[in-house]
């Protein structure tokens, strides 16, 4: 019996306002292969190298935060509180290549995070998910944007429900 093919790979990472990085973007080795052919070259290994202070550790720490979030866990405040600006939200964007059986997708997950000193929490301000399905080209972009009402002060003050906006269906879903 043949094993069905499933894999998820990070092909791009973008950071803003995290540690010493005001803006940084990494396109991993296999990204061009994914864009052209919707495939990952087997046996690839990614390495991050650069000068001291160039942000290598910041990238690894941001991927650790992403892992906590994708697993449904809180980001440990004590580990990351000193890495956030007091005045600006941190942005973490990640593009994944997902292959499940015979289907290929590109999925972009974009987060805005904020440090809350009073509650001693790292909070998700907003999330955006976009995905493309592979046909003859990358097509049918779908997009969802989530604003967390518990961390958006305007929504807390006016007591409005959470908003989920889908560009594909041109609807606004509220709870």
Region 46-60: mean pLDDT is 86
Q: Is the Cβ–Cβ distance between 84 and 90 less than 8 Å?
A: yes
Whether the per-residue pLDDT at 150 is higher than 70: the answer is no
Task: pLDDT band for 154, please (50, 70, 90 cuts).
Answer: very low
Mean pLDDT to the nearest integer, 92-96: 94
Spans of all domains in the chain: 7-39+50-166
Q: Is the pLDDT of residue 151 over 70?
A: no
Report the distance separating Cα 38 and Cα 82, nearest Å.
Answer: 39
What pTM does this model have?
Answer: 0.76
Flag the least confident range among 3-12, 108-117, 119-128, 165-174. 165-174
For residue 162, which of 147, 172, 151, 145 has the smallest C-alpha distance? Answer: 147
- Has residue 9 got a pLDDT over 90? no
C-beta separation of 134 from 105 below 8 A: yes
Q: How confident is the model at residue 22 (pLDDT cuts 50, 70, 90)?
A: very high
- What average pLDDT score do residues 73-100 get? 90
Report which of residues 92 and 151 the model is more confident about. 92
Average pLDDT on 62-88 reads 91
Question: Given pLDDT bands bounded at 50, 70 and 90, which one contains residue 37?
Answer: low
Average pLDDT, the chain: 78
Query: What's the rounded Cα separation, in Å, for the pair 34 and 121?
Result: 36
DSSP assignment, residue 75? P
- The pLDDT, as a whole number, for residue 169 is 46
pLDDT computed for residue 34 by the predictor = 67
14 close to 96: Cβ distance less than 8 angstroms? no
Considering the segment(s) 7-39+50-166 as one domain, its CATH architecture is 3-Layer(aba) Sandwich (3.40)
């Amino acid at each position: 019996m043949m094993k069905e093919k499933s894999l998820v790979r990070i092909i791009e990472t973008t950071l803003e306002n995290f540690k010493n990085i005001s803006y940084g973007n990494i396109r991993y080795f296999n990204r061009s292969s994914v864009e052209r052919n919707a495939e990952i070259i087997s046996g690839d290994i990614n390495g991050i190298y650069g000068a001291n202070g160039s942000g290598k550790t910041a990238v690894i720490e941001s991927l650790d935060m992403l892992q906590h979030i994708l697993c449904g866990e809180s980001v440990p405040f004590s580990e990351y509180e000193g890495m956030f600006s007091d005045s600006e939200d941190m942005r973490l964007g990640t593009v994944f290549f997902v292959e499940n059986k015979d289907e290929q997708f590109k999925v972009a997950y974009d987060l805005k995070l904020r440090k809350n000193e009073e509650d001693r929490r790292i909070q998700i301000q907003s999330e955006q998910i976009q995905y493309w399905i592979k046909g003859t080209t990358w097509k049918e972009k779908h997009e969802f944007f989530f604003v967390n009402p518990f961390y958006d002060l305007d929504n807390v003050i006016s007591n409005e429900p959470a908003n989920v906006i889908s560009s594909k269906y041109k609807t606004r879903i509220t709870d």
